[in-house]
A and B are shown apart, each in its own frame.
Chain A
Amino acid sequence: MLRAQEETIIFTPQWTAQAQFAGYYVAESKGFYREAGVNVRIEHPSSTQPAMTRLRNNQCQATTLQLCQAMEIVDGGIPLVNILQTSMNNAMVIVSARGKDPLTQKGARVGIWSVGFGQLAICMSIQDHLDYEWVRFAQNTNLFVAGALDATLAMSYNEYYQLVQAGIQMTDKNVYRFCDHGYNVQEDGVYMSRDYYESHKDLAKRFAQASRKGWEWAAEHPEEALEIVMEYVDREHIATNIVLQRLMLQEVLRLQVDRESGEREFRMRPDMVQLASHLMVENHMLGREITYKELSYE
């Protein structure tokens, strides 16, 4: 009983239920966690309890974070360990209104998530002397659709499709993809606080392996994985639909394939960690360089 209690991991993805977390839902519902001897409970964040707050308050033991976010947190004094890196590519894009090229819109009002996913975009705005006026918003794309913004940041698997669903025309011209302009920094990974990791290495390892298995299964059975995702979506009463989730799953799975090796590597790339760290230090978003070793479980 004690052992079972000890071995329970509460896992909080950084957003509400969606196909971005398909691998974890698959691992839970297909029993991969159980097979690995890990008792996992997936609890989504709420507006009053964001993922990082839950981790800090020890309300959960693992969460997903983007690499840049994790670096900021580590820089802020909370050591984290990346136990599983899922994303191998950057998904962030800038979508510009009225078919304009984002690179020509100096000083434009650009929407950015208030919870802080847009570190690379801020770096790019400074480096390319675009001097965007950042407008922080809580979530969704309404401000952009209502015409209150000149451009908005979007994730290629989420807000991008929400914008398409809102009737926004996407062209090669009005979409700027960070991954194609020297900012290909990997994103989602599963993190634990270093303290917790040090005392639960084996558990963390089994959790990570079962999660990876979930993702591999989802890649092989995308339609079944989508069904599982929709169960979680419905359970959480998320205002989305199967079309968006299918597109999201396809894109998230695509982003997990390393451009160079062509494989799902499930590892942090030291060069990407270094690139992100350099960019963020250079633009005063980190007080110091954060190294691969600091984040790695090895």
Chain B
Amino acid sequence: MNRILSYIRRKLSVRVSLWVVIFAAIIFIAALSFLFYQSREAVRQEAVSRATQILDKTSLRVESILNRVEVASEMTEWLVLRHPEQADSMFVYSRGMLLNNPDFYNCSIAFEPYYFKDRGRYFSAYSKHDADGIRTIQGGSDNYQYFYMDWYLMPKLLDKPCWTEPYMDLDVPTNTVETVTSYCQAIKDRDGKVIGVINTSLSLNWLSHTISAVKPYPNSYSIMIGRGGTYFVHPDSTKITRQSIFTQTMEKPDSSLSALGHAMTRGEEGMMQMQLNGEKSFIFYKPLGQTGCSMAIVCPERDIFGGFDRLRRTVMIIVLAGLLLMLYFFIRIITRELSPLRRLADEAETIASGQFDAVLPDFRRTDEIGQLSHSFGNMQQSLVRYIGQLKDTTAQKASIERDLHIANEIQMGMLPKVFPSYPEREDVQIYASLAPAKEVGGDLFDFYFRDGKLFFCIGDVSGKGVPASLFMAVTRSVFRTVSAHESLPDRVMTNLNKTIAEINDSLMFVTLFVGVLDLQTGKMQYCNAGHDEPLLAGAGVGTLPCDANIPVGVDPTWNYSLQEADIYPRTTIFLFTDGLTEAENASHELFKIERVRETAEASLSRHEQAPHQLIDAMTAAVHEFVGDAQQSDDLTMMGIQFRPGA
């Protein structure tokens, strides 16, 4: 099963064919189901009308004979009541009944006990056909007390003429038994008192033959039951008079058979569909006149729907075969149509393996597959071209990277990089670090000694990369140039600003802090152009107050203010760029000035306020904070510790 499923999953042609065939099958099933249902209904209707007609016809035939009996009985009653006191006339009337109606089985005109005083307890004028004609005798005796018989009691008790349940009539003189049904009518005198009963019997033989002969389908059969459900006509002769329609339900309840039995014994007319003797059948039933009997035609479904079922089977076989053929041809056709795709796939594999010059097949088709092949060819050519361009670009990029590397080296070369820079000087200790975010950065710092003073600066150019680095190089050169003949930081800054602003076509700017520390007095003059305020780490950690000046390069006319501060011995001036306070971790949180101060204070508490100690501690703190996050900005720190008399 799994193998089949995996095969289907692998084969587009099989999958598409299956979908098509399944869809077709669903449409077929829906359409055929509707058709079959309608046809079956039509066949059923036809069967119902056929059976109903036959039932009606049979019932009419039976009723016509029954009517004759009823009319004859009424006539006889009229005759009897003309001379109810003449016992011998009764023999004549009873005989006359059979003479006029040779198909009647027998006739009794029976009277209440001792009705004719001179005739004793019993008087029943009984006539019956026999071999020699009609035999007429007095039928009552101690051994045949007719007034206990159903036929005598029923019309009296029901107070109307009626048909008895069929019964076995024993003819004593000939000792023959015949199943008969009797029409009985009470004879009432003028006072309405019952004086006797006229009983006219019909042999059930003719009725059985009439009903048994009803056979609308080859395997159908007819049954007739009495009021109590007893079978009087049934194809299984062992059931006749011995079993009733309810017999088999006594040991094995069968609700549908019971329902049929009750409907028939209630004298209803109708149709039921049920399992009868292991076969699904339609049963049509109708009462037979006023006899209390009911007849039914049992038609097995296989008979009614035999032709229809054969037709349905044939159609289903044709449809099934058609669908299978359809599946076969679809798979074949789709496989053939899709075969170029297979070749294209193979070629694509070849190209993917790096063989860009592989020759694509020419399908000479204008359909979607032709278009796909054409597009594939175009794609191959584009790929070849693109890969050529990529090679060039890669080569250029490698050259740029090389240049950048050199630029970085040059940039770094501009900045002091050996620490301690002036090991011979004991009055000051300087330490700095610069970590650019890209190959080249826009941060700068510088310091040098002139006239017993330390000139220093730290700055941060707007933007990053090569433009920032060039701007930084310019700034650093101008700082050196200007500070060579200017000793006041505000003058340095103002000149520097003018110079840079004039050549600043790219509208860049730099935040810059310029300081001049008199190493004799510890007095520091400084000017801050929008840079982060430095920290002073001595007895404690404090911020060097700075005026609000705009960054360098923005406005050439700006006059920068000069500020002064006394630097106490052993105090370290900690300068940094915003790469420190704005260092970002993975959660985009900033390091912030608070952490800078905390780190500085921690360092101070450990008496590690020497520039390199402070910068190392700061570097470690930033690294720990940032973690694996990428460095977002250049990070530059510089520490200057004033150590007079060290």
Contact = CB atoms under 8 A, between A and B. Distances in A.
Interface of A: 47-49, 109, 114, 135-138, 140-143, 145-149, 161-162, 164-167, 239-241, 243-244, 246-247
A146 B158 contact: yes
A167 B149 contact: no
Nearest to A162: B228
A142 B248 contact: no
Interface centre among A114, A145, A165 (most CB of B within 10 A): A165
A8 B222 CA distance: 49
A47 B143 contact: yes
A239 B265 contact: no
The 9 closest A-B pairs by CB, nearest first: A166-B228, A148-B157, A114-B148, A48-B143, A145-B228, A138-B148, A239-B241, A142-B165, A165-B244
A149 B150 contact: no
Contact of B228 (A48, A148, A167): A167
B190 interface: no
A167 B258 contact: yes
Contacts of A247: 250
Given A47-B143, A165-B243, 18 more contacts: A48-B144, A137-B150, A140-B150, A142-B165, A142-B167, A142-B228, A143-B150, A146-B158, A146-B164, A148-B158, A149-B157, A165-B244, A167-B245, A167-B261, A167-B265, A239-B241, A241-B242, A243-B243
B316 to A, nearest CB: 43
A143 B154 CA distance: 7
Contacts of B149: 137-138
Nearest to B168: A239
Interface of B: 143-145, 148-150, 153-154, 157-158, 162, 164-165, 167-168, 170, 172, 227-230, 239, 241-248, 250-251, 258, 261-262, 265, 292
A228 to B, nearest CB: 18
A248 to B, nearest CB: 12
A263 B244 CA distance: 35
B246 A164 contact: yes
Contact of B247 (A49, A142, A241): A241
Given A136-B148, A167-B229, A243 B154 contact: no
Contact of B227 (A137, A145, A241): A145
Contacts of B242: 239-241
B144 A47 contact: yes
Contacts of B262: 167
Given A47-B144, A167-B265, A142 B250 contact: no
28 contacts: A47-B143, A47-B170, A114-B148, A137-B148, A138-B148, A138-B149, A142-B165, A142-B227, A143-B153, A143-B154, A146-B227, A148-B153, A164-B246, A164-B250, A165-B250, A166-B227, A166-B244, A166-B265, A167-B228, A167-B245, A167-B265, A239-B168, A239-B242, A241-B239, A241-B247, A243-B243, A243-B248, A244-B250
Counting chain A CB atoms within 10 Å of each CB, which of B157, B227, B246 scores highest?
A: B157
A48 B245 CA distance: 31
B247 to A, nearest CB: 5
Nearest to B245: A167
Contacts of A138: 145, 148-150
B168 A48 contact: no
A244 B157 CA distance: 28
Given A137-B150, A167-B262, A145 B165 contact: yes
A135 to B, nearest CB: 7
Contacts of A49: 143
A147 B154 CA distance: 9
A146 B164 CA distance: 8
B228 A161 contact: no
B153 A243 contact: no
A160 to B, nearest CB: 11
Contacts of B239: 241
Nearest to A166: B228
Contacts of A241: 239, 242-243, 247
Nearest to A49: B143
Contacts of A244: 247, 250
Contacts of A148: 153-154, 157-158
Nearest to A168: B228
